[in-house]
Amino acid sequence: MAKIIGGITTSHIPAIGVAIDKGLEDTPYYRDLFAIYPPIRQWLNEEKPDIAVLFYNDHGLEMWLDKKPTFAIGCAPKYENADEGWGIKPIPPVTGETELSWHIVNHLIENDFDPTVCQDIKVDHGATVPMTLLWPNHSYQGIKVIPVAINCERHPMPKPSRSYAFGKAIGDAIRCWERDAKVVLLGTGGLSHQLDGPRAGILNGDFDNYCMDKLVSDPQELCKFSNVDLIEKGGAQMVELAMWLAMRGALGEGIPEERLRNYVSPISNTGVGVQLLIPEE
Ligand code: DHB
Ligand code: FE
């Protein structure tokens, strides 16, 4: 049977992709941020997951305001990307895992979630920046990836509790897939940030750390927030906590071990959290 071996949360700020391209990882501005990735990469090297289920949001590359699925799942053999105007160089495509994608889709529909099925889709910085961070020099050729997109751009967005439940259903689907495969979950985006409007630049380190604590010990507390609550506390793009909650839902109900954590703020106007969670056996 397939097994979920861990969950990783990470921001996906485009500027981080540019910093990697420019070799700025060991500069004073970025050093504390990048310090967390080598131990996470080491864990990935030791565990060697076969598949990554990557929760991200499409910021407009494929799904903009004119067509915005609430939940969407990649069912493609590969996923290309493109520069969205941030100046991040396109990276080599990631390979899909269509059999597990379809298994998840079928399981979700049987369990009252109705995702959009994407058989031909490009992925944006929400996916490419985490892949680049976790598999340096694009060394992800050995791992298959299933991108799962959650609407974080256009109201109405799924409630935090709904994203958690959606992730939980995906976790159940993975655990009943009759293949011997190790699966790692990636929850990307967040934490506090707002990119435009009068409150642009808002940060809330206390709330970010509260969310990281509760993500481990009591994610139901985070499910009590509405998206408006999250926006008030951490800015308009704090709603990207949706992907962290989906990852945590998929990880299972027991309290995971928090193996690693990092929090740096601000990086490019964003509170950047990173966690490595190991599910209860
Ligand atoms: C930025 C963009 C993002 O999608 C994000 O999650 C954080 C920051 C940015 O443009 O700075
Ligand atoms: Fe984002």
Which domain range does residue 209 map to?
3-278
Catalytic residue list: 125, 193
Three-class secondary structure of residue 227 per DSSP: helix
Q: Do the Cβ atoms of 7 and 279 come closer than 8 Å?
A: yes
Which tens digits make up the pLDDT trace of 108-144? 999 999 999 999 999 999 999 999 999 999 999 999 9
- Beta-ladder partners of 148: 55, 73
Closest CA to 265 of 195, 212, 192, 194: 192
Beta-carbon contacts of 280 under 8 Å, excluding residues fewer than 6 positions away, are 252, 254, 255, 256, 257
Q: What is the pLDDT of residue 60?
A: 95
Could you tell me the CA-to-CA distances from 195 to 36, 192, 238 in Å, in that order?
25, 10, 10
Q: What is the pLDDT of residue 40?
A: 98
Ligand 1 near 240 CB (within 6 A): yes
* Distance between CA atoms of residues 185 and 146, nearest Å: 10
DSSP 92-122: PPEE--HHHHHHHHHHHHHTT--PEEESS--
Domain count, the chain: 1
Ligand 1 midpoint to CA 44 (Å): 25
The residue to mutate among 18, 55, 270, having the most atoms of ligand 1 within 8 angstroms of its beta carbon, is 270
Three-class secondary structure of residue 178 per DSSP: coil
pLDDT (tens, 9 = 90+) of the chain, 281 residues, equals 999 999 999 999 999 999 999 999 999 999 999 999 999 999 999 999 999 999 999 999 999 999 999 999 999 999 999 988 877 788 999 999 999 999 999 999 999 999 999 999 999 999 999 999 999 999 999 999 999 999 999 999 999 999 999 999 999 999 999 999 999 999 999 999 999 999 999 999 999 999 999 999 999 999 999 999 999 999 999 999 999 999 999 999 999 999 999 999 999 999 999 999 999 98
Q: Residues, the chain, total?
A: 281
Three-class secondary structure of residue 44 per DSSP: helix
Which residue is it, tokens 């969950």? 7
Ligand 2 midpoint to CA 228 (Å): 17
* Distance between CA atoms of residues 235 and 33, nearest Å: 21
Which residue has a Cα nearest atom 4 of ligand 1? 13
Supply 70's token pair. Answer: 């609430």
Ligand closest in space to the Cα of 18: 1
- Whole-model pTM: value is 0.98
- Beta-ladder partners of 217: none
Give me the CATH number covering residue 20: 3.40.830.10
